[in-house]
């Protein structure tokens, strides 16, 4: 079974070019910078913000979980027990 390793074309610009002595060669893999105007950048940003706002408006609200009734009953029972202890010590003090 032979393993074939193909050369990765995506990383080709990362490899060192062959050395040529005495002659300076400009690299052919540098991209020219692309210039944007402030007006175009602001327009694109506002459009993106508007799109995000519209998508958020279309989404349904997340159903928030309410506290279960059992938890409220437990809190109520604990409060009644605490109130009972306070009243018992205050009223039936010896």
Q: How confident is the model over 23-50, as pLDDT tens digits?
A: 676 777 777 777 888 999 999 999 999 9
Residues 9 and 16: their CA atoms lie apart, in Å, by 14
Residue in the structure block whose two tokens are 């029972």: 77
- The pLDDT of residue 56: 86
pLDDT of residue 65: 75
The pLDDT, as a whole number, for residue 17 is 62
Q: Write down the pTM of the prediction.
A: 0.32
Euclidean distance between CA atoms 14 and 7, whole angstroms: 12
Q: What is the pLDDT of residues 57-84, one digit of tens each?
A: 888 777 677 788 899 999 999 999 999 9
pLDDT at 89 over 90: no
Mean pLDDT of 77-92: 90
C-alpha pair distances (Å), 89 with each of 77, 82, 94: 18, 11, 9
């Amino acid at each position: 079974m032979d393993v074939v390793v193909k050369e990765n074309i995506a990383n080709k610009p990362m490899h060192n070019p062959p050395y040529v002595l005495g002659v300076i060669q400009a690299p052919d893999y540098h991209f020219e910078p692309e210039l944007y105007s402030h007006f175009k950048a602001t327009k694109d940003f506002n459009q993106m913000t508007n799109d995000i706002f519209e998508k958020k408006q279309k989404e349904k609200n997340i159903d928030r979980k309410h506290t279960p009734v059992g938890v409220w009953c437990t809190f109520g029972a604990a409060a009644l027990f605490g109130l009972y202890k306070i009243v018992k010590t205050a009223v039936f003090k010896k």
